[in-house]
């Protein structure tokens, strides 16, 4: 049974960190909600393509208003729990967050495009390797870089720093090390606190915090956290397949993947040939 929330209750929950929604998705959602019978499945599909809207949605569903026993990570489940009126109130609340300049939209397109592609590829990979919660893998793919828009807002030169970070990545230096050196913080840390403020399940917050820390995670001999390792493995494969190093890092080669490929593929039990075949089949599907 859906639990309807008023516009005032939604505004109250949404106080704090926000990532701007994509203008085109907002237009599509506005069109959908003025239909005589808005289709919740269509609305859920549109929301699930946008990190900012999905984050706001999960923040509301996982808030004390609902009192759920366990935090959820499924966008479709969240939409079903909220119901049509509350979701429309959420969309309207997000649409009045303020206009962005054309320049900001162009910069953020790099973030939005990779978020959607990586999320879909995470979902496909999770199903292929038999991960029990493919929805969670999708959510991690959508949110893993949710710190980037906030870094862009805080540091005007952030994308230049990020490109240098991708260029400098190797087995000795993580992408976040360059950010820490130049900015005293990094998008993984900011993403972790953003995800926590959105009430995402804690293991997904941990994966966001550690998504550029793969080498040390896979070098640990213990099976201390198999769930974290599996989620990070899926995410790193997806980022490589989708070319995040090109779109976000403006690089011809994926230096980070070169330093972690062996450990990641060994962990999920794939040979390089297996992975190459999988990569090609995902490209053929148009998921990556």
CATH of 102-285, one of 1.10.3210.10, 3.40.50.12280, 1.10.150.120, 1.10.30.50: 1.10.3210.10
pLDDT at 98 > cutoff 60: no
Mean pLDDT computed over 93-102: 68
Its pTM stands at 0.87
pLDDT of 12 over the 80 cut: no
Query: Cα separation of 255 and 170, whole Å?
Result: 6
Q: What is the pLDDT of residue 99?
A: 64
What pLDDT, on the 0 to 100 scale, is given for residue 4?
Answer: 64
**Residue 170 near residue 259, CB atoms below 8 Å:** yes
Q: What DSSP string describes 1-60?
A: ------HHHHHHHT-S---PPPHHHHHHHHHHHTSSS--HHHHHHHHTT-HHHHHHHHHH
Q: Residue 288 above 60 pLDDT?
A: no
Q: What is the pLDDT of residue 97?
A: 54
So what's the pLDDT on residue 1?
Answer: 45
Domain residue ranges of the chain, discontinuous segments joined by +: 7-95, 102-285
Is residue 182 predicted with pLDDT exceeding 90? yes
pLDDT tens-digit series, residues 259-285: 999 999 999 999 999 999 999 988 887
């Amino acid at each position: 049974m859906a639990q309807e929330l008023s516009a005032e209750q939604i505004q109250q929950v949404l106080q704090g960190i926000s990532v701007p929604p994509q203008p085109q998705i907002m237009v599509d959602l506005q069109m959908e909600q003025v239909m005589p019978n808005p289709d919740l499945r269509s609305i859920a599909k549109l929301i699930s393509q946008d990190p900012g809207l999905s984050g706001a949605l999960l923040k509301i569903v996982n808030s004390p208003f609902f009192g759920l026993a366990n935090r959820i990570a499924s966008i479709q489940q969240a939409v079903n729990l909220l119901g049509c009126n509350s979701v429309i109130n959420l969309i309207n609340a997000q649409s009045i967050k303020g206009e962005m300049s054309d320049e900001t939209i162009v910069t953020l397109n790099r973030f939005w495009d990779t978020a959607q592609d990586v999320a879909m590829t995470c979902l496909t990979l999770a199903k292929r390797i038999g991960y029990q919660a493919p929805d969670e893998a999708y959510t991690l793919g959508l949110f893993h870089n949710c710190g980037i828009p906030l870094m862009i807002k805080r540091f005007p030169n952030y994308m230049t720093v990020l490109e240098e970070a991708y260029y400098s990545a190797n087995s000795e230096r993580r992408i976040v090390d360059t950010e820490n050196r130049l900015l005293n913080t990094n998008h993984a840390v900011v993403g972790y606190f953003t995800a926590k403020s959105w009430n995402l399940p804690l293991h997904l917050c941990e994966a966001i915090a550690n998504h550029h820390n793969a080498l040390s995670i896979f070098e640990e001999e213990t099976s201390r956290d198999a769930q974290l390792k599996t989620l990070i493995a899926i995410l790193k494969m997806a980022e490589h397949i989708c070319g995040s190093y090109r779109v976000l890092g403006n690089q011809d080669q994926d230096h980070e993947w070169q330093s972690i490929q062996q450990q990641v593929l060994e962990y999920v039990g794939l040979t390089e040939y297996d992975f190459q075949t999988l990569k090609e089949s995902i490209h053929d599907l148009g998921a990556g």
